[in-house]
């Protein structure tokens, strides 16, 4: 939370912002002896055997891990990321508290229920626990590196090796994205940088469906080797986001509807996605959404109160009981990071003007009939392989239906027999009851010897009914 707030210069007072910025990469480090022991235990060898040089002072220290610079014996400069000792129990304890708070709020606060707060906390708990396994981060980094291999927009460092607790990766040369003074000194085009950053975000979400979800300034650097054509550098790929194809299409269509100021279509898209409960006044919802979102259109970042608008949108979601899927909250968090970074780099950036062609092209590609044909062609081998089993499956299905039909016939006959048995039982009950009452009536009006016989016959009738 502190890292997220540290990107919001528009919300946080400067003195508090300065302190929050320390959470990005300047958390108090653990000792060199602990780092050395953890590396040697994890790698199964001595520090001297693995590295030609291992610097005592950490380059950066964050909440989950800290980073030391080092050199391999072949001369390559590397960074060594080491998970903090005993951090897992602390995280588990923290999330036990958060989970309790989430459940407490869901019971009492309607907005918390609408946001599926407990599910969001559970998802985030899993995300944070995954950060403790550096093999997952290594795999994410390699995937991101593959996605942007040869890109002029972003560079992802190479991972050389990884265990659960230690990862060794290429050392990069660059400046944090928040180091505006360096960019000015090198004569970098900050407007171009901001455009690249936004394009990278949309590329990750819509082209790759694999987006960096922890883009605070401690994890985003700018190459300084070539100031005329600088690239972004992505670090710490521990938290990555993915969405379903349908969610991506819904989000893209929603954003495009906002850009086009078509709020009726926006609400229709949200309704089709199943986020609007039955009985909602969609006309009123459209009016409220237009009132809140319209000021965003065609305005540069420095004229937008993005966080304020986002809060108003969330308030609308609460009032109209909109069901926001929990998986979208990670994307919203990332969008807040990206908007904050873009605001710092180039406040005059027109985010909607840049986004429109990207979204239009992606939606056109998704809706293109040729893509449907290509997708069908890709699935055709699986369909053909499945077709060979079709006759056997049909025979099995017919056999199953035949057995089911026979079972249903048997059940029907048994039900009919049961029905007849019940009717017959009722007749016997009526006869026995009538006979019992009639015999008792005769007994009450007869001399003693005959009365005894009538009573005996009455109980004989009852015994007959019980036994039959």
Give the active site residues.
214
What are the C-alpha distances in Å from 297 to residues 249, 255, 338? 21, 11, 18
What are the C-alpha distances in Å from 121 to residues 102, 136, 322? 7, 20, 19
- Among residues 209, 216, 207, which one has the least CA distance to residue 327? 209
Q: d(Cα 75, Cα 391) in Å, to the nearest integer?
A: 63
- Where does 320-368 have alpha helices with state H? 327-345, 351-367
What are the C-alpha distances in Å from 54 to residues 77, 127, 166? 10, 30, 14
- Which SS3 state, helix, strand or coil, does residue 64 take? coil
What are the C-alpha distances in Å from 56 to residues 33, 69, 153? 9, 8, 34
Q: d(Cα 118, Cα 116) in Å, to the nearest integer?
A: 6
Give 26's DSSP letter.
B
Catalogue the long-range contacts made by 447-451 (C-beta closer than 8 Å, 24 or more residues apart).
none
Place of tokens 């790929």: 237
Q: Give the strand pairing for 240-241 and 211-212.
A: antiparallel
Q: Can you state the angle between helices 327-345 and 245-259, rounded to 10 degrees?
A: 40
Give 12's DSSP letter.
S
Using alpha carbons only, give the angle 68, 143, 52 rounded to the nearest 5 degrees: 30
232 DSSP β-pair partners: 154, 222
- Which SS3 state, helix, strand or coil, does residue 221 take? strand
Burial-class residue 149 by CB neighbours within 10 Å (0-12, 13-18, 19+).
exposed
Give 204's DSSP letter.
I
Taking a C-beta distance cutoff of 8 angstroms, is the pair 214, 65 a contact? Answer: no
Q: Can you state the angle between helices 87-108 and 117-131, rounded to 10 degrees?
A: 170
What are the C-alpha distances in Å from 399 to residues 67, 387, 402, 428, 433? 65, 19, 5, 43, 50
């Amino acid at each position: 939370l502190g890292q997220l707030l540290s990107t919001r210069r528009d919300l946080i007072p400067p003195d508090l912002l300065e302190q929050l910025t320390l959470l990005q990469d300047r958390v108090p480090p653990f000792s060199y002896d602990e780092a050395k022991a953890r590396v040697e235990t994890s790698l199964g060898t001595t520090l001297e055997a693995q590295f030609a040089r291992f610097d005592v002072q950490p380059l950066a220290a964050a909440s989950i891990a800290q980073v030391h610079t080092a050199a391999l014996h072949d001369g390559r400069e590397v960074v060594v990321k080491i998970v903090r000792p005993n951090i897992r129990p602390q995280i588990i304890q923290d999330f036990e508290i958060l989970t309790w708070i989430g459940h407490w709020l869901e019971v009492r606060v309607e907005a918390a229920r609408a946001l599926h707060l407990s599910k969001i906390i559970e998802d985030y708990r899993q995300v944070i626990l995954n950060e403790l396994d550096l093999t997952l981060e290594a795999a994410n980094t390699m995937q991101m590196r593959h996605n942007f291999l040869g890109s002029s927009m972003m560079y992802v460092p190479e991972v050389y090796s990884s265990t659960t607790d230690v990862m060794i990766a290429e050392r990069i040369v660059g400046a944090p994205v928040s180091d505006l003074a360096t960019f000015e000194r090198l004569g970098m085009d900050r407007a171009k940088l901001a455009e690249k950053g936004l394009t990278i975000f949309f590329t990750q979400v819509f082209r790759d469906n694999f987006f960096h979800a922890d883009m605070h300034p401690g994890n985003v650097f700018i190459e300084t080797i070539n100031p005329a054509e600088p690239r972004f550098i992505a670090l710490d790929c521990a938290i990555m986001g993915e969405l379903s194809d349908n969610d991506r299409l819904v989000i893209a269509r929603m954003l495009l509807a906002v850009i086009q100021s078509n709020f009726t279509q926006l609400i229709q898209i949200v309704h089709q996605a199943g986020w609007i409960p039955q009985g909602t006044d969609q006309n009123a919802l459209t009016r409220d959404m237009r009132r809140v979102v319209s000021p965003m259109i065609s305005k540069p970042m420095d004229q937008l109160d993005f966080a304020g608008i986002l809060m108003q949108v969330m308030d609308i979601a609460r009032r109209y009981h909109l069901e926001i899927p929990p998986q979208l909250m990670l994307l919203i968090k990332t969008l807040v990071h990206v908007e904050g970074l873009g605001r710092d780099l180039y406040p005059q950036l027109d985010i909607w003007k840049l986004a429109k062609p990207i979204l239009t092209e992606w939606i056109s590609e998704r809706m293109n009939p040729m893509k449907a044909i290509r997708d069908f062609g890709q699935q055709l081998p699986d369909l053909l392989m499945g077709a060979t089993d079709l006759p056997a499956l049909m025979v099995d299905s017919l056999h199953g239906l035949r057995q089911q039909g026979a079972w249903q016939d048997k059940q029907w006959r048994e039900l009919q027999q049961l029905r007849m048995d019940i009717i017959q039982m009722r007749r016997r009950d009526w006869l026995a009851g009538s006979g019992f009452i009639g015999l008792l009536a005769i007994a009450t009006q007869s001399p003693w010897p005959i009365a005894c016989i009538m009573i005996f016959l009455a109980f004989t009738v009852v015994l007959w009914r019980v036994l039959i």
